[in-house]
Amino acid sequence: MTDLMQAVSRLKAVLGEKLQEKMPLAGFTTAQIGGPAAGLVIADSVASLEEAVSACWQLDIPCKVLGNASNVLISDRGFEGVIVINRAKSIRFNLNAEPVTVLAASGSNLGGLARQAGIQGLSGLEWAATVPGTVGGAVYGNAGAHGSDIQANLEMAEILHPISGKEKWTCGQFEYAYRSSVLKRTRSQAVILTALFRLTQSTKEEVMARMDTFNTRRRATQPPGASMGSMFKNPAGDFAGRLIEAAGLKGQRIGGAEISSMHANFMVNHENATASDVYRLIRLAQQKVKEQSGIKLELEIELLGEWDEI
């Protein structure tokens, strides 16, 4: 028995049936790609999220929290550790606060949160209505769209750190940059438990109309199907999709994966694509764009697990 398997069976003694062993991850991802995790826990509350990650930390087991896995590519070999799927979904509006706030558990769906705000005529998260991730993933990566992003509305978040325990972080402490935070840059183990957002009073009609406009724009420009959204960050003053298209790669396929012919910064899983198919497309796009324009495309998504360098 490997050290990891021994540690996972010790974890089983702590978490019992909540821990599933050798679980395929593809079905938990928006791209429908990824090998197995040594262990998997589905956390349906903030308390069970805390319990699962704390137990992993105590037993020194590599552990990764995922929300909708809409911004990660998981290796075909899977993840040598425990994946905690965050489904902690409570949402509480404080309509008496000035400004109005909403406190969301980190496993809440970001788009659902935006729509709940919209129904109450609360503005600020319209851009997020079609982002298919969780609040935790969005706070971690400074998700954004249509000229706004998480840092525009985040008041504070509660995080759980393996050494310092629970802390309340202001927005400034995340040191946000474009699709990035200090947690993402340092690959921190800290887990976001809840997030508090500021909203402004508007009307349901106005907020919903803005969401509809954004949704229509998205449907017209982005491909349907299984994907991870934008693969690369836009380099300063340019667009990753334009650069990939200019390098002649629109519609390029490797195995079951395709650089979308609708939007070249999307890679779509057409026919049972493997992570390796997508990884090879990533490297191809980086190489061709570098040759063509001298620009090194930086990944927006994260790679999880082990990869064979190409």
Chain positions contacting ligand FAD, by CB under 6 A: 30, 64-72, 86, 106, 131-134, 136-138, 140-141, 143-145, 179, 191-192, 227-229, 302
CB of 227 to ligand FAD, least distance (A): 5
User: Could you give the 3-state DSSP secondary structure of residue 97?
Assistant: coil
CB of 268 to ligand FAD, least distance (A): 10
| Residue 82 bridge partners (DSSP) | 39, 63
179 given a catalytic annotation: yes
Considering only CA atoms, which of 246, 251, 305 is closest in space to residue 275? 305
Residue 159 to residue 50: CA distance in whole angstroms: 10
300 given a catalytic annotation: yes
Residue 223 to residue 220: CA distance in whole angstroms: 8
**Residues 99 and 198 sit within 8 Å (Cβ to Cβ):** yes
124 φ, ψ (degrees, to nearest 5): 135, -30
80 given a catalytic annotation: no
Q: What angle do CA 299, 225, 296 make, to 5 degrees?
A: 15
CB of 68 to ligand FAD, least distance (A): 4
**Residues 228 and 188 sit within 8 Å (Cβ to Cβ):** no
CB of 131 to ligand FAD, least distance (A): 5
Residue 172 to residue 36: CA distance in whole angstroms: 36
Which of 123, 202, 230, 276 does the annotation list as catalytic?
Answer: 230
Q: Which is nearer to ligand FAD, 99 or 256 (CB)?
A: 256
Residue 154 to residue 274: CA distance in whole angstroms: 36
Q: What angle do CA 55, 39, 9 make, to 5 degrees?
A: 65
CB of 206 to ligand FAD, least distance (A): 21
Residue 9 to residue 79: CA distance in whole angstroms: 16
CB of 289 to ligand FAD, least distance (A): 20
Q: Which is nearer to ligand FAD, 131 or 196 (CB)?
A: 131
Using DSSP, how many helices (H) and how many strands (E) does the chain show?
8, 17
Task: Fill in the DSSP letter of residue 126.
Answer: G
The first and second tokens of residue 31, run together, are 């791209």
Tell me whether the omega of the peptide bond preceding residue 132 falls within 30 degrees of 0, making it cis.
no
Which of 179, 181, 198, 260 does the annotation list as catalytic?
Answer: 179
Catalytic residues: 179, 230, 300
